[in-house]
A = this chain, B = another copy of it.
Amino acid sequence: MSRGFYVGRFQPYHNGHQSVLEQMACRVDEIVIGIGSAQISHTLANPFTAGERVLMLIRSLSSLKCPFYVIPLEDVQRNALWVAHVRAMTPPFDTVYSANPLVVQLFTEAGVDVRSPNMHERLTHSGTAIRQRMLDGKAWEHLVPPAVVDVIQEIHGVERLQQIAGSD
């Protein structure tokens, strides 16, 4: 059985992430999804808690073609320990899907097989763009799965982000 690992901060979870996970679902038997910087919330770059991000992921992936595990991962603040941290917190996996340069480097140094999903690089910028649209009062709902719109409305996520931005 093959298991693939995918990690993101998911602030918020969006269509780009969804696309990568749907690609992965055709190639591996099970997917381990790490929620990075799980301990951070209520900041401009990381407005949502890990629990809120778990909800976004699970509701959006209910019809994914393969089983998946969603694991919040607190930061360890030391890059040289990060791979060991991920491995201790997750079921074992064979392959990492990532276009994040640091993630690629750390897993490669550890001898793990890393593959680039087609569209990731562009996606990493999308989280920033979506949060900016929320701050500016522009439409963002079309950039995320419908379940994510629901979660963010339930938790008053846009209002939280705008309030935190405050006079800064």
Which residues of A, 96-145, contact B by the 8 Å Cβ criterion? 99-102, 104-106, 108-109, 121, 124
Whether A153 is near chain B, meaning CB under 8 Å from some CB there, is: no
> Once bound together, how far apart are the Cα atoms of A167 and B98, in whole Å?
13
Contact of A91 among B54, B102, B105, B108 (CB under 8 A): B54
Closest to A105 in B: B163
Q: Enumerate chain B residues within 8 angstroms of A101, measured Cβ to Cβ.
A: 163-168
Say yes or no: B69 contacts A38, CB within 8 Å.
no
Which residues of A, 50-73, contact B by the 8 Å Cβ criterion? 50-52, 54-55, 58, 69-72
Q: How many copies of this chain?
A: 6
Size band of the interface chain A makes with B? 35 or more
Minimum C-beta distance from A103 to chain B (A): 10
Say yes or no: A39 contacts B78, CB within 8 Å.
yes
Interface centre among A77, A78, A90, A102 (most CB of B within 10 A): A78
> Once bound together, how far apart are the Cα atoms of A78 and B85, in whole Å?
9
Whether A149 is near chain B, meaning CB under 8 Å from some CB there, is: no
Say yes or no: B54 contacts A58, CB within 8 Å.
no
Say yes or no: B105 contacts A42, CB within 8 Å.
yes
Q: Enumerate chain B residues within 8 angstroms of A58, measured Cβ to Cβ.
A: 69, 91
Closest to A50 in B: B89
Closest to A46 in B: B79
